[in-house]
Chain A
Amino acid sequence: MAEVVRFENVGLRYGLGPEVLHDITFGLEASSFHFLIGPSGAGKSSLLRLMYLAHRQTRGLISLFGRDVSTLPREQFPKIRRSIGVVFQDFRLLPHLSAFDNVALPLRVVGVRESEIRRHVEELLVWVALENHMDVRPPTMSGGQQQRVAIARAVIARPKILYADEPTGNVDDRIADRLMHLFEELNRLGTTVVIATHNEAIVQEFGWPVLKIDNGRLKIIPTDEPNPVNLTEVGEVID
């Protein structure tokens, strides 16, 4: 299966600060599903930022969909970003727009017809159990509701890759389970999924391979390795 993401010896530092990611090397095959785990401050968010093109690496090679992004002109970024859905830990919903309009954003930027936007967005909002909150603005929604809007926005355009940073952090177990099944459903349809999470129960329940990160270094734990979420072991760096 072709790789949609490839990191080779990637390092990242912010400004003149210390390197926060060291020699990251891994690949994600199309239609794969991974959890990304690690303690706070380990570099999960930095790794995700590189993966969704919010930052450029300091060294090494990153390729997305077979294209080296370090040599890619800036004008090409929007096209690649449209193939990537991101669920931010802080949701990043636009507070002045309704839940409907927030979810519709990725479709509007590519000029999809309003009638189609309405159909798709309503369908998805029903799926995340927000059909009664379409016209509500994020500041008046609960954390869990905002998270579901953020997830709906990330998947509305059927991205080829979906990154979700703590997507189940603010929802109850029932909704968390439902969301995970939504991610699995998208994965079955061909979307490559990476879920950053602290939720050990979910990682163990779903049993997908794990990317462990600690102190800026990465280890890949395949599905057959026992107890992939024992975070105390994360410090034992495997090069």
Chain B
Amino acid sequence: MFFRQSNLALEKDDTNQFLPWLIAFMVLLAALSVAGLLMLNQISSAFEHGIRDTMTIQIPAGQNSRADEIHVRKALTALKQVDGVLSSKHIASAEISDLLKPWLGETADSDGLPLPQIIDVEVDRSSDLSAEKLTELVAPIIPGTTVDNHSIWLTSLVDTLRSTELIATAVVLLITLATIGTVVFTTRTGMGIHRRTIEVWHFVGAQDEFIARQFALRAFIVGLQGGFVGILLAAPILYLFDFILENLEEGLLPKASLDVSIWISVGAIIPIIALIAMVTARSTVLKTLKKMV
């Protein structure tokens, strides 16, 4: 019954030939934007986590490695006594060299390069422990020690990332609006093509809602078709993007990847775009029919 009612042969219209491809292109753009948006969100959340929960203690390089070890041990022992410090971890010299490699190249491995000792401190933000307070506690034990809470540069970086997220959101909204506009245009064209058929439906007593359902169902099917094709086109691009991120130099950016939640979000574009197309077609038909006798 439902199939028969929707049998207006709309699928044979020229407008319906290109609409799935147009929607596929929109979905491709939307998928890339949504995936990018969510990955940016991962990165900025990782940065924000850095701002909120960690501080870095930097101990100046000692005269030799033995001196460095003693300084680190003293600092770690002292940190255990501090209220608000949840954990502390010494970053091995090799790890520091790796972090510096993108900037210094192989020089970072050089034994002759005096590297400071770094301790990552995880702090309880509900406590009143600040970078200044931690400096006052540690500096008397190891002179020259500084504490960095990263807030200055990380805040501006996170702000930049959040702005980029807003732009990506605006792009997704624009794609949605463009899709709605396309569906409105093709629905009106389809109604023009089927004007005589619509008149017949009216003469046999069909309600506007009945006629609108024909177009809405067709738009839903076209939305699903276009959505699937769009996601199929987007998938290899997203995999490539993920591959590039996976192989990015360690330390340049916090880890971001196309996890399951991102794939689910990208996949959800298919029913969402189909529903948008269906609702848009229905309201367009109802508005247009109101102008007819």
With a cutoff of 8 Å between Cβ atoms, the chain B residues found around residue A75 in the complex are 207
Task: Report the minimum CB–CB distance from A213 to chain B (whole Å).
Answer: 21
> How far apart sit A94 and B197, CA to CA, in the bound complex (Å)?
6
Contact with A along B197-229 (1 / 0, CB 8 A): 101111111110010000000000000000000
Q: A78-B206, A97-B7 are in contact. Are A105 and B201 (CB under 8 A)?
A: yes
Known A55-B293, A94-B197, A96-B12: A109·B4 in contact at CB below 8 Å: no
CA distance A79 to B12 in the complex (A): 31
B204 and A105 contacting across the interface, CB-CB below 8 Å: yes
| A interface, size bucket | 20 to 34
Query: Which of chain A's residues have a CB closer than 8 A to the CB of B203?
Result: 52, 54, 81, 84, 86, 92
Interface residue? B163 (CB, 8 A): no
Contacts of B196 in A (CB 8 A): 92
Interface string of B109-141 (1 = CB under 8 A from A): 000000000000000000000000000000000
B260 contacts A by Cβ under 8 Å: no
Chain A residue, CB-CB nearest to B210: A109
For residue B183, give the distance in angstroms from its CB to the closest CB of chain A. 22
The reply to whether A54 and B293 contact each other, CB–CB distance below 8 Å, is yes
Tell me if B9 and A82 are in contact (CB < 8 A). no
| Contact between chains at A153 and B293 (CB < 8 Å) | no
Verify if A53 is at the interface (C-beta below 8 Å from B): yes
Binding site secondary structure of chain B: helix
Interface string of B241-278 (1 = CB under 8 A from A): 00000000000000000000000000000000000000
Does A68 lie at the interface of the complex (its beta carbon under 8 Å from any beta carbon of B)?
Answer: no
List the A residue with the shortest CB-CB distance to B205.
Answer: A82
What is the bound-complex CA distance between A54 and B201, given in angstroms? Answer: 12
Give chain B residues whose Cβ lies under 8 Å from the Cβ of A84. 203
Is residue B1 within 8 Å, beta carbon to beta carbon, of the partner chain? yes
Interface residues of A in 42-92 (CB under 8 A from B): 52-56, 74-75, 77-79, 81-82, 84, 86, 92
* B290 touches A (CB below 8 Å): yes
Chain B residues with CB under 8 Å of A157's CB are: 204-205
Most buried by A among B4, B5, B204: B204
Cβ contacts under 8 Å, B210 to chain A? 109
A94 to B199 Cα, complex, angstroms:
11
What separation, in Å, do the CA atoms of A153 and B200 have in the docked complex? Answer: 11
Kindly report which residue of chain B lies nearest to residue A102, judged by CB atoms: B200
Q: Which chain A residues lie closer than 8 Å to B9 at the CB level? A: 96
The contact sample of 30 A-B pairs, CB cut-off 8 A, is A54-B199, A54-B293, A74-B293, A75-B207, A78-B202, A78-B205, A78-B207, A79-B205, A81-B203, A81-B204, A82-B205, A84-B203, A92-B196, A92-B200, A92-B203, A94-B200, A97-B7, A105-B201, A105-B204, A106-B204, A106-B205, A108-B4, A108-B5, A109-B201, A109-B205, A109-B206, A109-B207, A109-B210, A114-B1, A157-B205
The 9 closest A-B pairs by CB, nearest first: A82-B205, A96-B9, A109-B206, A106-B204, A81-B205, A78-B205, A78-B207, A105-B204, A92-B200
Interface residues, chain B, with chain A CB atoms under 8 Å away: 1, 4-5, 7-9, 12, 196-197, 199-207, 210, 290, 293
Apart from A92-B196, A110-B205: 18 A-B pairs, beta carbons within 8 A: A53-B293, A54-B293, A75-B207, A77-B293, A81-B204, A81-B205, A82-B204, A84-B203, A92-B200, A96-B8, A96-B12, A97-B7, A101-B4, A105-B200, A106-B205, A108-B5, A109-B201, A157-B205
